[in-house]
Chains A and B, each alone.
Chain A
Amino acid sequence: MCSGAGGFDVELTQRLKPKKYKCRSCGATFESVSKHPVCPTCQSESVDEVC
């Protein structure tokens, strides 16, 4: 049975591990769950991971 609302929920083994990035082009900071992070503000792929 699909649980729908309020039903049993499983603990998924694969949890998201977002990393923080700063865009070199526009300066925006964002969290991405992708191996290939792209700035959501200006679509630049020129980003740096920040700790």
Chain B
Amino acid sequence: MLVPLDDELLLIRRGDPFLLVAKAPELFVLCIETYDKELCQTVEAGDLIVASAPEGGDVRQAEILVELVRTYHQPVFVIPKDHPGSARLSMVVSAGSAVIPKCDIVRGTHPEQDVICASEEFGNLRLSSVHGGVEISLPESEEKFFSISKIQTTVAR
């Protein structure tokens, strides 16, 4: 399904877990900081910026994560595997022309920005940027389990 999206936020929820999706308004460089190097990813206008809350939580926290990247171009930090910090990450963020939720990756450890740690209920969902909106690929039989709504960002743009 295609959902039109401008500068508002798209909330995709299934029970407590949710994804919060935004579109980049302009081209910018997202720096991905690993323990020993910096990788740069060009985020194109219209690309997706997605925050994931695998156990749910406050949507405002996810909004802050999204806006730190979308508006303030805050670098993303990637931690090594087996780092205890993974346990502290209740929400994670990713950016790209497409974002694929996966439940079998360790939080915060993947510099690949086309995957994001999410609840297993999101395993069959795919998000792609399309002109003027977001394409949500989801088996028709699962659509009824998701609630999809738009919320306005509280960050002045």
**Which residues in A have some Cβ–Cβ distance to B below 8 Å?**
1-10, 12, 14-16, 18, 30-34, 36-40, 43
Contact = CB atoms under 8 A, between A and B. Distances in A.
Contacts of B103: 1-3
B41 interface: yes
Sort A-B residue pairs by CB-CB distance and give the 7 closest, nearest first: A5-B86, A5-B87, A34-B42, A2-B103, A40-B29, A32-B40, A9-B106
Contacts of A37: 40, 42
Given A7-B106, A32-B40, A2 B117 contact: yes
Contacts of B106: 3-7, 9
B40 A34 contact: yes
A29 to B, nearest CB: 11
Interface residues of B, number: 35
A18 to B, nearest CB: 5
B21 to A, nearest CB: 19
A43 B29 contact: yes
27 contacts: A2-B103, A2-B119, A2-B120, A3-B103, A3-B105, A3-B106, A4-B54, A4-B106, A5-B89, A6-B82, A9-B105, A10-B102, A12-B105, A12-B115, A16-B39, A30-B38, A32-B40, A33-B32, A36-B42, A36-B44, A37-B40, A38-B27, A38-B28, A38-B40, A40-B29, A40-B31, A40-B38
Interface string B106-136: 1101111011011110000000000000000
Contacts of B27: 38
A10 B105 contact: yes
